[in-house]
Amino acid sequence: MNNVWVTRLRFAPSPTGYLHVGGARTALFNWLYARRHGGVFVLRIEDTDVERSQAEMVTGILDGLRWLGIDWDEGPEVGGPHAPYYQSQRLERYRAAAKQLLDSGQAFEDGGAIRFKVPPGKTTFVDSVHGPIEFDNEHIESFVILRSDTHPTYHLSVVCDDIDMAITHVVRGDDHISNTPKQVLLYNAFGKTPPTFAHVPLIMGADKQRLSKRHGATSVMEYEKLGYLPEAMFNFLALLGWGTGSNDELLTKDELVQRFNLEGISGGNAVFNTEKLDWFNHQYLLKLTDEELVARVGGLGAWGLEGLGKDPAWSSRVLALLRPRCKRLTEYRDQLTPFFEGPTSYDPDGVKKHLSAPEAREHLEALRQAYIATGDWTEVALEKCLRELAEARSAKAATLIHGTRIAMTGRMVSPGLFEMLVLLGRERVVDRLARLIAALAGLP
Ligand code: GLU
């Protein structure tokens, strides 16, 4: 039995594409509100558009929600008292509803389709974000509710399901405001009270245009591939168009649940700021312990992380070196590589810029000898050794510094060179210098 006092929200995606950040944010607001009020969060798949809906998109949407940590109490895979949760399996219900309106004279047939007969007057509703909204029915055409192929239109199916599933609050994108009067008319026609509506602002790119591929990744799962943590994405999305009313930004899932309310949703458009997302991600990465961090980085793919697990003290020092500079898991993966394997190629620009003089090789060889001989394998000693050698040979210290970096990483940028040398250890440093020296001999 439905208890009218139970707060029930739903996310109702059409599986015509992957889970977009805008959709994810809508799902998240509904989820937060349901959790805040001890309610129920329903997932319903609106797949009545047979041509555009694809089963693999449903899988993609479920994966995206799960990755973000949004669980559903009723819906695909979990079932529930109002099953089925796929609109394509509820067609008979919509046909019966259309017939009901036809029989009661509130709809009429028109060339095989069934249209709703819009009554005269005005249609009003109070939007939790935008306040009272009024539409003059004169401007609402007698819209189709059941097509001639007996498939329902969105307005009919969404209202039937929201009634049947006892939905109390509909939180969805601003682009649905103009659909709402038609839906309110249908609620009235069925003799039901409409739910509370909250239309949330759309998400814009930095140029204030609607977020699209042009702005970068739009599918939630792309963000996983780009090295973002789901908890950072969750926090970031929760603050896209909603605010706590204070300066607090770093909020855990539980804190967001405690604080979420419809009043905090802003009427203005929300801007998707990638730098801000990076900031959140960095903060969440910094919260992870070394062990957790290694586990997350390892989760990115088959890559030799065993080394980090083997020597926790050494790993901690490596990670401490990288923590301030890595904002995404992919950056860790990239920056960790030189600690495990020598370069497979050398940045040609770096070689040209710093190592094209014939003496460069000899300087590097002298440094290699000095590093074989030095007793003190510390940052200070290694730097001192390099600078003294440069001076003695009337070479530029920069040549040796950049040359050594290229020898260690193949690249022109890396974390602090001497810290890195200490962590790599004498054997690897000397060996990689030798490999670069040999490679330079082969260059014209
Ligand atoms: N299937 C609709 C959409 O994806 C749902 C809109 C609604 O929440 O009513 O836009």
Q: Are 300 and 318 in contact (CB under 8 A)?
A: no
pLDDT of residue 51: 83
Nearest to 226 by CA among 337, 322, 331, 298: 331
pLDDT of residue 444: 57
pLDDT tens-digit map of 333-376: 889 889 888 999 999 999 999 999 989 999 999 999 999 999 99
pLDDT tens-digit map of 391-417: 999 999 999 999 999 999 999 999 999
Q: What is the pTM of this model?
A: 0.92
* Interval between CA 99 and ligand 1 midpoint (Å): 23
| Three-point CA angle 98, 89, 145, nearest 5° | 25
Which run of H or E residues covers position 196? Answer: strand 196-200
pLDDT tens-digit map of 280-291: 999 999 999 998
* Interval between CA 416 and ligand 1 midpoint (Å): 51
Cα atoms in the 13 Å half-sphere on the side-chain side of 146? 21
What is d(CA 157, CA 194) in angstroms, rounded to the nearest whole number?
14
Reply yes or no on whether the pLDDT at 11 is more than 80: yes
* Interval between CA 317 and ligand 1 midpoint (Å): 49
Q: Which of 117, 192, 208, 213 is catalytic?
A: 213
pLDDT of residue 3: 52
Ligand 1, atom 4: nearest CA belongs to which residue?
A: 13
Q: Are 107 and 77 in contact (CB under 8 A)?
A: no
Reply yes or no on whether the pLDDT at 302 is more than 60: no
For residues 65 and 338, which has the higher predicted lDDT (pLDDT)?
A: 65
For residues 125 and 215, which has the higher predicted lDDT (pLDDT)?
A: 125
What is d(CA 286, CA 288) in angstroms, rounded to the nearest whole number?
5
Ligand 1 in contact with 161 (CB < 6 A)?
A: no
Q: Are 300 and 231 in contact (CB under 8 A)?
A: no
Which pair of tokens denotes residue 175? 């682009």
Reply yes or no on whether the pLDDT at 298 is more than 80: no
What is d(CA 320, CA 296) in angstroms, rounded to the nearest whole number?
16
pLDDT > 90: what percent of the chain?
84
pLDDT tens-digit map of 28-57: 999 999 999 999 999 999 999 888 888 899
- Predicted confidence band of residue 303 (pLDDT cuts 50, 70, 90): very low
Residue 327 appears among annotated catalytic residues:
no
Handedness of CA 241, 245, 248, 254 (dihedral sign): negative
Q: Which residues have a Cβ under 8 Å from the Cβ of 229 and sit 6 or more positions away?
A: 281, 284, 285, 296, 329
Ligand 1 in contact with 155 (CB < 6 A)?
A: no
- Predicted confidence band of residue 162 (pLDDT cuts 50, 70, 90): very high
Q: Which residues have a Cβ under 8 Å from the Cβ of 117 and sit 6 or more positions away?
A: 105, 106, 107, 108, 142
Which run of H or E residues covers position 270? Answer: strand 270-271
Ligand 1 in contact with 172 (CB < 6 A)?
A: yes
Q: In what order do the strands lie in the sheet with 113-116?
A: 107-110, 113-116, 144-146
* Interval between CA 176 and ligand 1 midpoint (Å): 8
> Which is the closest atom of ligand 1 to the Cα of 13?
4
pLDDT of residue 4: 55
260 — phi, psi (to 5°)?
-65, 135
Ligand 1, atom 6: nearest CA belongs to which residue?
A: 12
